[in-house]
Structure 1
Amino acid sequence: IDSLVNFLCNDLTKACSTKPPPVPKDRTPGEPFVPKSSKEAEMEKILKSMEGMPGAPGMKMYSREDLMNMQNFGDEDADEEDDDNEAHFPSKLGNVLREKESTKSDWKQRIKRGILDSGEALRRHANRVSYRIRQWWRGKKAGLKKKNSKSSKPEL
């Protein structure tokens, strides 16, 4: 399977062995890329899906901190008592989520997994087809034996 991945990546497509083409020199540089956190991307996706809903035009989403800082929202005195026990919980949660994201398999692993899965599926289908052909052939052979046994009997 590794040889198949290498064949597809290097020999067949030359995707892994060639460098990307250079950027034209007369191109004006755009604004620098700033990656969004997964939380921001998810919020934006939710807002876009809710955009066409009737009765909620111009809906805004607020983070927990924003809601707590708003007037008449949340009692900060009661909230400070809980902070002693869970002072580092959000940062720990963020670290755990980042670790999970970083352990996601890269595209080579996904290609390899896809090839392995399709190989398994192909093997299952081949076994099913060969089983059906075997059953059909056995039926044909049994039918031929019955015909031959009837014709070999002496007639009276």
Structure 2
Amino acid sequence: MGYSDTDVAEYLYKNKPRVDSLVKFLCKDLRGACSKKPPKVPEDRIPGEPFVPKSSKEAEMEKIPKSMEGMPGAPGMKMYSKEDLMNTKNFGDDDVDEEDDEDEAQFPSNLGKVLREKENKKDDWTRRITKGILNAGETVKNHANKVSHRIRKWWKAKKAVLNKKNSNAKKSEL
């Protein structure tokens, strides 16, 4: 659209057109692109591959990464088809190195160890949080008991002073 973007925005704002009138405005009125015939293809040009339309499944698979572009955690995400994966090194290939076989033999036990460590870390966090909450509860309870004890002592002392004043006042009246 180049420098015509403001013209298109103005047209959309003022006229609120339907699709057919917008197409007419863009193609014919604004640039005259649709009214011109396309240039001829040079005769010495080598023909390219024939056009093969994508299946709806392939089109959908291409839409998924595009829709996830702005999401955090998936900045350079790519999707591969089954054929792509089978054509990569060692997928679908029977000539796998012996070292890889040894690594694969250890893999399940290593995987279990890693998963157990992850579970332990989750349990560890759960235990730490629970312990922290219980400790905080005990600390608040102890603090409340200390404050309550001090208030009781203060109230008893205050009561004793008032009782002494009242008893002294009664003695002086007699």
Relative contact order, CA 8 A, sep 6+: which one is greater?
A: 1
Same fold (TM over 0.5): no
Give the TM interval when normalised to the shorter protein: 0.3 to 0.5
Q: Greater Rg, structure 1 or structure 2?
A: 2
Which is richer in helix?
A: 2
Taking structure 1 as the reference length, what is the TM-score of the superposition? 0.35
TM-score by length of 2: 0.32
